[in-house]
Every structure is written in C-alpha cells, then in structure tokens.
Structure 1
Amino acid sequence: MRLIASLVAIATTALIAGPASAQALTGTLQKAKDTKKIVIGFQEASVPFSYLDGNQKPVGYTLDICSKIVDAIRNEIGEPGLQIEYTPVTSANRIPLLLNGTIDMNCASATNNLERQKQVDFVNTHFLTANRFVSKKSNNLRSIEDLKGKTVVSVAGSVNLNQINRINNERSFGMTVASAKDQLEAFLMLETDRAQAYVMDDVQLAVQAARSKDPAAYVISKEAFGKPEPYGIIIRKNDKPFKDLADKATAALYQSPEIDTIYKQWFQSPVPPNNINFNYPLDPALAAAFKNPSDSADPDHYALKN
C-alpha cells in the first residue's frame, strides 16, 4: 500500500509539474514554443554585421552571435528543431516590426542609447563604434566644420541622421541633410556626387569604402561627432526571461575564445561575396567589454581605465 501511495504521489507531482513548466514560458519564449520558429530581423546591406551574400543568404557577424541565442532558446523551450526565419528590415522600421511582433530579434548594427531603451531592450554589447563621415579626397573635407553648406547624407531612422540634424541646427551649418533607405544607397549618393559627405558609424564607412570601385578615392574623418557608442541586439522591452537567456548566452560566448574566431572571420579575413578583407582589428575597449559583458547605453561605461 505504501508503494502504491508513493507511486500515486510521484504521478500526481509529475502531472502538476508538467503544466507549471509550460506556464512558466512567457513572451518571446512562449511565442517560439507555439510557432516552433524564431523570427530574426536583418539588414540586407549592413556588411559585415548582417547582409545578403552572393547566394542571397543572410550572413554576418551579428547573425552568428544571434545563432548562439537561438541555440539557447532551443534548449530552454525543449524544441531542438526550432527554425530560424529571416525578415529584412531597415533602420527606420526595425523597432516598429519588433514591437508589433513581426520579428523577435533585430540582429544587425543598432546603436544602444537611452532614447531607444524607452521602447526596447538591448542584449549585451557586441561592438563599439564612433560616428564620423566619409568623403572623396578630392572634396578636401577634413573636419566637421568643413561640412558647412554641403549636402550630407545618412540613413533614415539611424542615430547618425539624428545627430547630424542636431548639429546642423545647433551650429547653423546650413547643410542640406539627405536621408537614404540604407547604407548602400547612402554610399551611392556619395559616389555619384549627390552628396559631398556620408555620415555613419566609422566601421560601416570603412567597409563601404573598401568595397567601392576606388577605395583610395575616399577618406574617413579623424574627428568624430561624439564618443564611441555600443551596438546591441534589439529585443522587446520587459521580456525578462528572454533577455536573461540572451544575456547569459552572449556572455558565455564573449568570455570564450570563440568570439575571437567569429570576430576575425568577419573583420580580419576575406568576406564574401567579394572576398574583401576589411583589416579592422579588435578595439581594446571592445575586448574589455567582452570580458565584462554589459548592456549599458553609456559610452563612458566602455572607456578604458588608465
């Protein structure tokens, strides 16, 4: 009788525990469990963070990091066959598409700042970059002051566009500020002389110049519009279980030798489809951030201590 009672108690506990475990899933994790997929937003021309390769397949540095998060989701919800669905987004629509549930993560190059944190959350920082401008050497533009009266382009929905508009107004520069739908279009405007300067994160400018028809024709400003800022993977706000999982997965990656391999693959090796090596070394400040992962939006947080 005691044995029967024990078996009944174990069975009862199992029945109670099963539904409780299922009910514990919320937000993005529950959505992934229900749909058996996770939808990743990516940008088609944000080389080498996320873009389409020669076979029109989404690839890139940030997508490789997001794949580690997906592995953690599979393990957490018990769905080893969880599929990844890729949806193209732009700087202008990525947050609206996240908020309305069209995508579950934005995996590209997105600046983490306090303004955006009012709408969304960011996973641990995976890159640091400063806002500068690229121009043709023949235009002889070296400083921000040199942009007075010029046509300057940046990408719609980007922090960079907001920053250049603010400077234009505050300092009465008289610039004509144009917005492009993506980085490819912005550089094309510079290349075809519809703009004299293109403002964007310095790493993106280096990549675009290296991929151009005449890389030697372009120069990136030494002067920056502000301090280096962090990039983060964007997820929905107040989804703590998913954020905790994503932060844990990225922290484990960043504190392992694998992040060096991933970084070198995309920034210090020939990158498809044109096999260009951007020769962009790992910044010491980013290396330090990898050792102590953080989702801080404060640029001062990442400053190296003397």
Structure 2
Amino acid sequence: MKKLHLALAMVAGFAVHAANAQALDGTLKKIKDNGSITLGIRESSFPLSYLDASQKPIGYHIDICNAIVDAVKTKLALPKLEVKTQAVTSQNRIPLTVNGTVDLECGSTTNDTSRQQQVAFAPTTYITNVMMAVKKSSGIKSLSDLNGKPVATTTGTTSVQLIRAHKVGQGVNFREVYGKDHADFFLMLETDRAVAFVMDDNLLMGLIANSKAPQDYAIVGESLSLEPIAIMLRKDDPQFKGLVAATIGSLAKSGQLAKLYTKWFLSPIPPKGVNLNVPMSDALKAAIAEPNDRPKEAYAAK
C-alpha cells in the first residue's frame, strides 16, 4: 500500500510540474489563500466513497481525490496543506460545489449535459449500469413487475426519470419513496417499505455485500442507462480543471488508475473484507485509454 501511495504522489507531482509558473486564480487561489482544500465525500457510495468502521472516508474516488490533493500540494508548494472533508448527499452535492463549500466532490455523480450547465467534471473514472436491487423472495424480475408498488431511489439522482423513460417502464404506475442517501433507501428495501431500490449497479453491489443477509438480494431487470461517473468541481475554472485532468490522465497512462480499480473492485475491501468482483467494463477501459469528460448522452448516442 505504501508503494502505491508513493507512486500516486510521484504521478501527481509530474502532472503539474510544467504548470508551476502559472499565476493562480479560481479554486487554486482559494486553496492557497485558505491553506486548505475541502473534499465532498459520500457516506455510503460503495466502493467509490464511503465510511469505514472508524468513520474515515475511503474508496476508489477518495484515493483518486487524494492523488489530486498531492498534485495541488506540489503546484502550490504547500506540503502541509490541510485536507478537510464535508459529507454531501445526492440532493446537496451540486449546490455545495457551486457555492465553494467543497472544492472536489469525490462521490458517485453521473456526468450529464444538464449538470454540466452548473458544474464541471473530471475525466470519467467509472462507468455504471443503472439497475434495481430487490429481495429474491419478491419475485420481481422486470420494471413491469413494479406496477402499484413502492420503489426507493435517492433524492437528487436520475433513477426515477430513467424508469419512466424506459420503454418497459412507461405506463408502470409505481409509487416513489424518497430519502437522503443510499444507505437509507437500502434500509427501506430491507424493512419492506419498498420492493425495489433503483441505483447504480456498483452501489447496489456494495450495499448488498455489506448487508445483514446478502444472499437475500438480487440485482435484476432491464439496464436503464450506461452512465459515466466522475469527480465534480466548479465550472469555469480552467486552471484547476486542467490540473485535475492532468493528474487523472497521468494516473491512467501510468497504470495506477487500473491498480486502484483492482484494489476497490477486485479485492477484499473494508469493513467486512468483501470482494465485489466486478471486472472492468470495456466502456471504462476505453475511457481510461482516452481520458475524457464526455456526458452520458454521448454514450447513449453510440
């Protein structure tokens, strides 16, 4: 693990070396003036950003954000830069990024054209399928089985719109049940207040794997959307976005991004040592080979 952290730091330093003479503005000036950077973290977005048993933020996107922090330290010559964290939800993550409360949102946010009107995105670092988790005993296999039933999804996500837009979901009269975050909604599924939880497949896998009875659940139904997931930052800040993009590009080119993927998706992870065993998709391999911030609409058009 120490070797991986050292490698990430070296890559981050290399990514910004050529830009060190540039005058500061935007987020980098804010960080320099404050002597701190604030990461927006999620509390239950397995395995991208979540809390371990000691309530410390960990995950695939946390590691990537830490590499970006190392790049910022190098750029600003601030080895003792204070790193703060701020828990965010699907509902408040964009406002807290826009208003400067968080500098990097290191969660599980889909990059789409509507959100690009408000914020900017780093190059894609994960691509997910939106599906639904159910109890096996429910007999639910398809969106068509949801008619008249309560369906949980997290406030501020695109899941309900995706159900209604899907040809199988059109005309299905399900009842929406809302709450603040993923763990809350999975609890609704566990306690039978909802018959399905619609969300990114990796988040569903993580919640199921860390539940009290993983064998009771299944991920079923139609794929609602292929969505690029990326770290979020403020819009109209080319200097900071350039540093973020250069850092992730260097991680991708050096192979460190693939190693981080293996660490979080193909190895035992805290808190229970569960291995999600999710091989990297062809779509993500392509995104890593050619780092980009294309929105989900570009994937739907293919």
C-alpha deviation, 1:303, in angstroms? 9.0
* Counterpart for residue 281 of structure 1: 279
Counterparts of 1:179 and 1:256 in 2: how far apart (Å)? 41
C-alpha deviation, 1:164, in angstroms? 3.5
What letter is aligned with 1:77?
L
Q: How do residues 155-194 of structure 1 correspond to structure 2 at under 5 angstroms?
A: 155-164=154-163, 171-194=170-193
* Counterpart for residue 96 of structure 2: 97
RMSD over aligned CA atoms reads 2.0
> Which structure would you say has the larger Rg?
1
* Counterpart for residue 264 of structure 2: 266
Question: What SS does the corresponding residue of 1:108 show, helix, strand or coil?
Answer: strand
Q: Is 1:57 matched up with 2:40?
A: no
Counterparts of 2:45 and 2:119 in 1: how far apart (Å)? 21
Q: Deviations over 1:73-106 (max 9, x none)?
A: 1121221221210111111011111111111110
Counterparts of 1:298 and 1:258 in 2: how far apart (Å)? 25
Q: Is 1:233 matched up with 2:266?
A: no
* Counterpart for residue 12 of structure 1: none
C-alpha deviation, 1:166, in angstroms? 5.6
C-alpha contact 1:129 1:201 (8 A) present in aligned 2: yes
* Counterpart for residue 248 of structure 1: 246
C-alpha contact 1:230 1:299 (8 A) present in aligned 2: no
Q: How do residues 18-167 of structure 1 correspond to structure 2 at under 5 angstroms?
A: 24-164=23-163
Counterparts of 1:141 and 1:225 in 2: how far apart (Å)? 16
> Unaligned 5+ residue runs, structure 2?
1-19
Question: What SS does the corresponding residue of 1:194 show, helix, strand or coil?
Answer: coil
Question: What SS does the corresponding residue of 2:189 show, helix, strand or coil?
Answer: helix
Question: What SS does the corresponding residue of 1:231 show, helix, strand or coil?
Answer: strand
C-alpha deviation, 1:22, in angstroms? 8.9
Question: What SS does the corresponding residue of 1:79 show, helix, strand or coil?
Answer: coil
C-alpha contact 1:50 1:62 (8 A) present in aligned 2: yes
> Unaligned 5+ residue runs, structure 1?
1-20
What letter is aligned with 1:50?
S
Q: Deviations over 1:115-174 (max 9, x none)?
A: 100100000000001111111111111111111111100001112244346669x82322
Counterparts of 1:256 and 1:59 in 2: how far apart (Å)? 22
Q: Deviations over 1:172-223 (max 9, x none)?
A: 3221111121111111100110000000011111111111222121111141
Q: Deviations over 1:242-282 (max 9, x none)?
A: 00110010011012221222111111111111111111111
What letter is aligned with 1:279?
N
Greater strand share, 1 or 2? 2
C-alpha contact 1:124 1:293 (8 A) present in aligned 2: yes
* Counterpart for residue 201 of structure 1: 200
C-alpha contact 2:25 2:239 (8 A) present in aligned 1: yes
State the identity as a percent: 42
- The 3 A distance-change label for structure 1 pair 297 and 115 is same
Question: What SS does the corresponding residue of 2:144 show, helix, strand or coil?
Answer: helix
Counterparts of 2:251 and 2:48 in 1: how far apart (Å)? 17
What letter is aligned with 2:157?
S
Question: What SS does the corresponding residue of 2:223 show, helix, strand or coil?
Answer: coil
Runs of 4 or more off by more than 6 Å in structure 1? none
Greater RCO (CA < 8 Å, at least 6 residues apart): 2
Counterparts of 1:120 and 1:201 in 2: how far apart (Å)? 21
- The 3 A distance-change label for structure 1 pair 238 and 268 is same
What letter is aligned with 2:284?
L
What letter is aligned with 1:43?
R
What letter is aligned with 1:257?
G
Question: What SS does the corresponding residue of 2:267 show, helix, strand or coil?
Answer: coil
